[in-house]
Amino acid sequence: MNKVKFLSLVLVTLTGSLFAQDKVVPTPQWRPAYHFTPPTNWTNDPNGLIFLNGEFNLYYQHNPFENKWGHMSWGHATSKDLVTWKHFPVAIPEIVTKDTTTWIYSGSVVLDKNNTSGFGKNGKPPLVAIFTADQPKQKKESQFIAYSNNGGLSYKQYAQNPVIDLNMHDFRDPNVFWYPPTKQWIMTVAMVDDHIVRFYGSKNLKEWTKLSDFGPAGFTKNGWECPSLLPLVVDGNPANIKWVLFVSSGGEHGPLMQYFVGDFDGTIFKNVNDNHKVLTVDYGDAFYAAIAWRDAPQNKKILLGWLQNGRQETNPWKGQMSIPHDLSLKNTSDGLVLYQLPSAFVTQSLPKYAKGNVIEKKNTSINGSGPVLHGEGNAYWIDVEFDIKNAKRVGFNVAEKAGTDKKVTVGYDAEKQQLFVDCTGSEKVNKSPENLIQTTPMKAVSGLVKIKLLLDRSSLEVFGNDGERVISTMIYPDKDATGLSVFSEGEAVIRGLKIWNLSPKVLSTIK
């Protein structure tokens, strides 16, 4: 468990016992309209992402009983468009026996097409879940498998579990994929405190052989969790593939998630950069434990992260997923860089969900504060291109509260050459001082800056310059803090602006 999660657990427990008499206050104003949340109770990491029969399956770390971390089990939902989710009963519950409690920690799911595991039934291939069994009493983490013969609705534990047991305390989050050249399954799994990703290979998902270790490398001040290795296309050329190794690394004084770019030969991952180089996935304080759908249509690799919400309670659920990110690599003057954009599957659904509730502007000059545009409901999606001319800073005020200074500012600082999210105007209670202003270096391209701003009640995700940079964070505006305006310090031109309002459906639930 990372520090943020631990602290939130402590806070939840403390506030829980202090105010045990108080009624739980529902917070529909912070329930996202177009991001995944469980209907009730806690979620953290996404697990077992798999695309099957036209549907994206999402399993997720879930406490089925309480709105706080604990009783870890796998919740389950599916979606056809990555916007609307159908919820299913818990797919893998915690296992409680007289002498052991086994929590179902993070992991992955594969479709065992050739029935290498022998778990198939009536000629149908099984789904196999590979995950960490955390046994708090034994202070042990080992790797388990379980299989499903009903399309992923429920799983049976393998009788010979664990399949990998090093008698370790912190050894977790296996992510598995099929590697055709050597005809075997590959697993990446974290040796948390050693800052090592260990690679294993298997012919049948039951017997695993160690292949190699990667690390320590990059950012090593916190434990490593949730590693995963993905092949990504470079510069849109399918013949040019590099492998990206994602690692979640805690976030205290460093990136929450980092990545390494390299080559993989079926045994060893070789970093193309110096091992000291730190590459950041997301420059905000929320995006964590992300893994990908590797088998989505059009060969897309789609990354989904948990957006941590630290200190603020939400009810009757806590925790949400990010917008899914389509991934690619680009060759730049800084070397190979990960590009992330909101998934095209989501983008293509925007008109449907906005139901004509769209604002468009072209070639409009601004100097100072621009018109109040929209914002009712705080669930919208902005695509903008600014020509920054001689402006010092340009962007949007979101979640503005009329008659007060309360607001969150998102934009581009041309002097500092940074994309930024400034929460000093409203989030002092929710964020530690060092997270009130979140920034990332970014250059304008021939004077132009592109921003995608996704506000969904309490999540705020900002994508800069066609996915070169991302800042994801959580905000908790007052119910009536729904103002939205564009601003420019100095003269700038809005080359193109489109805002989709995505809130009407859910608005009615706010009283």
Do residues 471 and 451 lie in contact, with contact meaning Cβ atoms separated by under 8 Å? no
Judged by CB under 6 A, the residue of 60, 105, 317, 500 near ligand FRU is 105
Judged by CB under 6 A, the residue of 31, 71, 140, 172 near ligand FRU is 172
Neighbours of 234 (CB within 10 A): 16
Least Å distance, CB 28 to ligand FRU, is 26
**Torsion on CA atoms 193, 196, 202, 206, rounded to nearest 10:** 0
Do residues 279 and 218 lie in contact, with contact meaning Cβ atoms separated by under 8 Å? yes
Residue closer to ligand FRU, measured from CB, 74 or 463: 74
72 binds ligand FRU (CB under 6 A): yes
Judged by CB under 6 A, the residue of 226, 279, 323, 494 near ligand FRU is 226
Which amino acid, one-letter code, is at 148? S
Which amino acid, one-letter code, is at 43? T
Residue closer to ligand FRU, measured from CB, 291 or 388: 291
Do residues 75 and 62 lie in contact, with contact meaning Cβ atoms separated by under 8 Å? yes
289 binds ligand FRU (CB under 6 A): yes
Number of residues that bind ligand FRU (CB under 6 A): 15
Least Å distance, CB 5 to ligand FRU, is 6
117 binds ligand FRU (CB under 6 A): no
Residue closer to ligand FRU, measured from CB, 78 or 248: 248
Least Å distance, CB 209 to ligand FRU, is 23
Least Å distance, CB 441 to ligand FRU, is 27
454 three-state secondary structure: strand
Do residues 407 and 398 lie in contact, with contact meaning Cβ atoms separated by under 8 Å? yes
Of 1-9, 320-328, 337-345, 463-471: span binding ligand FRU (CB under 6 A):
1-9
Judged by CB under 6 A, the residue of 106, 314, 328, 340 near ligand FRU is 106
In degrees and rounded to multiples of 5, residue 249 shows phi and psi of -135, 40
Give dist(CA 194, CA 295) in Å, integer: 31
Kind of pairing between the strands at 393-400 and 196-202:
unpaired
DSSP 347: H
Residue closer to ligand FRU, measured from CB, 34 or 171: 171
Which amino acid, one-letter code, is at 321? M
Judged by CB under 6 A, the residue of 94, 112, 173, 489 near ligand FRU is 173
Q: What share of the chain is helix, strand, coil (3-state, %, to 5)?
A: 10, 50, 40
Q: Is 45 one of the catalytic residues?
A: yes
Residue closer to ligand FRU, measured from CB, 1 or 510: 1
Least Å distance, CB 147 to ligand FRU, is 20
C-alpha angle 60/63/66, rounded to 5°?
145
225 binds ligand FRU (CB under 6 A): yes
Judged by CB under 6 A, the residue of 37, 43, 61, 426 near ligand FRU is 61
Do residues 483 and 402 lie in contact, with contact meaning Cβ atoms separated by under 8 Å? yes
Residue closer to ligand FRU, measured from CB, 5 or 406: 5
Q: Which helix (H) or strand (E) holds 505?
A: helix 504-507
222 binds ligand FRU (CB under 6 A): no
In degrees and rounded to multiples of 5, residue 81 shows phi and psi of -125, 5
Indicate which residue of 45, 112, 170, 326 is catalytic. Answer: 45
- Under rule CB under 6 A, which residues in 18-57 are in contact with ligand FRU? 44-45
1 binds ligand FRU (CB under 6 A): yes
Neighbours of 193 (CB within 10 A): 14
Which sequence positions are flagged as catalytic?
Answer: 45
Residues in contact with ligand FRU by CB under 6 A are 1-2, 5, 44-45, 61, 72, 105-106, 132, 172-173, 225-226, 289
